[in-house]
Structure 1
Amino acid sequence: MELAHTKFRVMLVDDHPERMQMLEQALAIEQHVIVARLDSRADLAIEVNLHKPEIIFIDVDAPGRATLESLAQINKLRPLPVVLCAARSDSETARRVVDAGVSAYVVNGLQPERVSALLEVAVARFEMQQTLRLELDAARTRLADQRDIEKAKGLLMKRRNLDEAGAFALLRRMAMDRQQKIGDYARALLSAADVL
């Protein structure tokens, strides 16, 4: 998800109407669009699917377990930048906030003139996290491919009496014939060998 513009669709979560109003005014000044106004009892995962915000902005006294679990679920299924402001926190809560995928966490000190800057920081940090996640997934895939290719080569060397180069060439040719990536074909070959 790439957020190239600076005007965001924001879902607000706050239990205090006067604080919510202050946030609404701060966001309106910067021409952000508020797509939902909720309290902390709302099921955030459902609301995200319903309203399709680009950012979630939560302002609470202290983040509750249900809120953090909802944010963790959103982070897995439909990752979004999240700004979480709390009046108080402790080290265990801070750890759980990070684990839930919160992009920006502010304790005891939200000022209206800083709301837009917080959104920009949250988006930048979110994009960085997403890039790192994609790079990690790609590295894991490459390692799995290498492992499975080596196993499939070993299987072909044993069953077809080939040397390593010949086994790799055969594996590559069979993958190309089936229009598959060599790692995917190696896994299919290993699965078929397990069945037989």
Structure 2
Amino acid sequence: MHKLMLVDNDPERSDSLESALHEAGYKNTIRITPDANLLAAVRSHQPDIILIDMQSPDRDTLESLRTVSKEMPKPIVFFAEQSDLDTTRAAISAGVSAYIVDDLPGKRLKSVLEVAIARFQEHQKLREELEDYKGRLQDRKDVDKAKGILMQHRNLSEEEAYQLLRKMAMDRNMKIGEAARNFVAAMALLGG
């Protein structure tokens, strides 16, 4: 069962939303106010989902969301009573997974949360894939640079330089990209 963190400064509205959450099957809810340190609360309570219910996101709230999204990414659902295009864009940019304007969705609450979680998970998967591709691209650049140095200084063919790097990586129990970076750094220290 998901643990939810409800951020709201209106006790009546919070009670109403928490009741709707209980009816939707979400029984584990932590409530905090918008003036609380959101990142500290997320670290402390480790919620699976963050729900924010307020009139409209202010700059401090958006900055807190941006920090949470960067440090401890979570699906974030924002219920706003009013909004405009710039505010909606700012909320999405700050890491909000679902931005609902107007009344609480009532019977649709569970599906709104499920969609927000699914969108968040897909976004995280894409982010991880992008980081993996960036890492592999950097490894490839570093290997090419190390091969070039070996080819120039040891008068090796490209294949011989690659095999030497590969052996160096295997002997040191490293990935070839890491071995290439170490080699390039060592050559730079030696002035080569």
Is TM > 0.5 for Structure 1 vs Structure 2? Answer: yes
Which structure 2 residues correspond to residues 131-150 of structure 1 after superposition, within 5 A?
A: 131-150=125-144
1:94 alignment partner, one of 73, 85, 88: 88
Is residue 55 of structure 1 aligned with residue 40 of structure 2?
Answer: no
- Which piece of structure 1 moves more, 93-102 or 108-117? 108-117
Is residue 157 of structure 1 aligned with residue 151 of structure 2?
Answer: yes
**Residues 88-135 of structure 1, C-alpha deviations (whole Å, 9 max, x = no match):** 112221221111111111112322222211110111001100110011
1:172 is matched with 166
2:21 alignment partner, one of 19, 22, 27: 27
The letter of the residue matching 1:66 is D
Task: Report the 3-state secondary structure (helix = DSSP H, G, I; strand = E; otherwise coil) of the residue aligned with 1:191.
Answer: helix
Q: CA RMSD in A?
A: 1.1
Return the TM-score normalized by structure 2. 0.95
**Residues 35-88 of structure 1, C-alpha deviations (whole Å, 9 max, x = no match):** 421121111101111111110010110001111111111111111111011111
Contact 2:39 2:67 in 1 (8 A): yes
Is residue 105 of structure 1 aligned with residue 99 of structure 2?
Answer: yes
Contact 1:35 1:51 in 2 (8 A): no
Q: Distance in 1 between matches of 2:29 and 2:123?
A: 24
Task: Report the 3-state secondary structure (helix = DSSP H, G, I; strand = E; otherwise coil) of the residue aligned with 1:10.
Answer: strand
- The CA deviation at 1:195 is 1.2
1:122 alignment partner, one of 116, 126, 149: 116
Q: Gaps (5+ residues) in structure 2?
A: none
Is residue 73 of structure 1 aligned with residue 29 of structure 2?
Answer: no
Runs of at least 4 residues off by over 6 Å: none
Contact 2:49 2:75 in 1 (8 A): yes
Contact 2:49 2:74 in 1 (8 A): yes
Contact 2:18 2:29 in 1 (8 A): no
Q: Distance in 1 between matches of 2:168 and 2:132?
A: 23
Contact 2:4 2:50 in 1 (8 A): yes
- The CA deviation at 1:29 is 1.3
Task: Report the 3-state secondary structure (helix = DSSP H, G, I; strand = E; otherwise coil) of the residue aligned with 2:21.
Answer: helix
Q: Gaps (5+ residues) in structure 1?
A: 1-6
1:4 is matched with none
Task: Report the 3-state secondary structure (helix = DSSP H, G, I; strand = E; otherwise coil) of the residue aligned with 1:106.
Answer: strand
Identical pairs, percent: 46
Return the TM-score normalized by structure 1. 0.93
- The CA deviation at 1:30 is 2.5
2:78 is matched with 84
Q: Distance in 1 between matches of 2:111 and 2:15?
A: 18
- The CA deviation at 1:148 is 0.6
Judged with a 3 Å threshold, the aligned counterparts in structure 2 of structure 1 residues 156 and 93 are, in CA distance, closer, same or farther, namely same
Contact 1:55 1:80 in 2 (8 A): yes
Q: Distance in 2 between matches of 1:163 and 1:195?
A: 24
